[in-house]
Amino acid sequence: MGQSRGVAARLEHVFEVVRNPSTGEPYTNAEVARMALGDLSEEDVEKIRSGAVSDPSVGQIAALASVFGVEISYLLDRGEPSLLDEELVQALRDADVRDITRERSRLPDRERQLVLGIVRQFRDQKAWLIG
């Protein structure tokens, strides 16, 4: 039951953070089941989400991860702090942010640090101009 509670808590967090772009609201269990294309029923989603399923199958976890666009390991990982927060999810909805992130990830470490420094300078300059 310990693992399923961990999965349930992580899944609940994903439900809270990843919103339906059409409504801005959290997805319902029925919507997630539909998006799983037959790999999960609404009842399966509810049971995993509540922790009632003691050991969700790898297929069920994979289907949930696919629906929400997270790595399977995120739903299974134990003891690590959350990788998703609302600000990060909102930022990653922006195509420019995704492009910058992809390009930055391809750079050597030194150049990645330079890019981060430039971004922080823009942020600080904006704060100085506003403040």
- Summarised one tens digit per residue, pLDDT across range 34-75 is 999 999 999 999 999 999 997 899 899 999 999 998 888 888
Whole-number pLDDT of residue 1: 42
Q: pLDDT per residue over 2-19, tens digit each? A: 455 589 989 999 998 888
Q: Is 61 helix (H, G, I), strand (E, B) or coil?
A: helix
Whole-number pLDDT of residue 2: 45
Pick among 3.30.365.10, 1.10.260.40, 3.40.109.10, 3.40.1180.10: CATH of 2-90 = 1.10.260.40
Cβ atoms of 106 and 35 closer than 8 Å: no
Whole-number pLDDT of residue 130: 79
What per-residue string of b and e applies to 22-39 under the rule 16 or more CB within 10 Å gives b?
eeeeebebebbbebbeeb
How far is Cα 64 from Cα 62, in angstroms, rounded to an integer? 5
Q: pLDDT per residue over 63-122, tens digit each? A: 999 999 888 888 886 555 556 666 777 777 778 887 888 888 888 999 989 988 998 898
Whole-number pLDDT of residue 60: 95
Which one is predicted more confidently, 24 or 89?
A: 24
Domain boundaries, the chain: 2-90, 94-130
Cβ atoms of 39 and 114 closer than 8 Å: no
